Amino acid sequence: MSRIGKIPVKVPKGVKVSFQSEVMTVEGPKGKLTQKYHPVVTFEDKGEEIIVGRANEEKQTVAYHGLYRNLLNNMVIGVSAGFSRALIITGVGYRAEVQGKLLSMSLGYSNDIFVGIPDDLSVIVEPNGKVTVNGIDKQRVGEFASQIRKLRLPEPYKGKGIRYDNEQIRRKVGKSGVK
């Protein structure tokens, strides 16, 4: 049996989960998320937890078992607590600020870069160069943070650029003069 798939999904108070016509819907204090699922996966509601099962032991079905259990767990966490991803902007003159629904960044290019913030996400910029992306959908939060990071990848010589909060940049030694 799938090691991830057999773990029951704990549903906190205030979160409603429903499964109708191959669509799972999770509703909580922060919002509502929906996700289609494959019919070989079954969901059994036991009050405070949901047990995910599967129809057979085929390789693809076993993969779906773990996948949809994790997707459901991420949806439950998202509507109850939410997800966030922190980025750090490092470099002389590099900065960011939120202007309405736009993220304006000065990253050493000749022009500032403007990125539209999606409606379901929020962005907080702190004065020390920390940018935090918040939302209820884990995939959307990670994807938007990745798009921001791609605007100026961290370089290995001085460490300038945009990196994740928990990311370690392996620094390289620069040129050495030949005598």
User: pLDDT by residue (tens digit) across 29-70?
Assistant: 999 999 999 999 999 999 899 999 999 999 999 999 999 999
- What pLDDT is stored for residue 83 in this prediction? 97
Whole-angstrom distance, CA of residue 42 vs CA of residue 52: 6
pLDDT of 178 above 90: no
CATH of 83-164, one of 3.90.930.12, 3.50.50.60, 3.40.800.20, 3.30.750.24: 3.90.930.12
- Give tens-digit pLDDT for 118-139: 999 999 999 999 999 999 999 9
Mean pLDDT on 98-113: 95
**What is the SS3 assignment for 61?**
helix
Does the domain at residues 9-80 carry the CATH identifier 3.40.50.740? no
Q: What is the pLDDT of residue 2?
A: 65
Are 90 and 140 within 8 A, CB to CB?
A: no
| pLDDT for the residue 8 | 94
Domain borders along the chain are 9-80, 83-164
Is 81 within 8 Å of 12 (Cβ atoms)? Answer: no
Q: Same CATH topology for 9-80 and 83-164?
A: yes
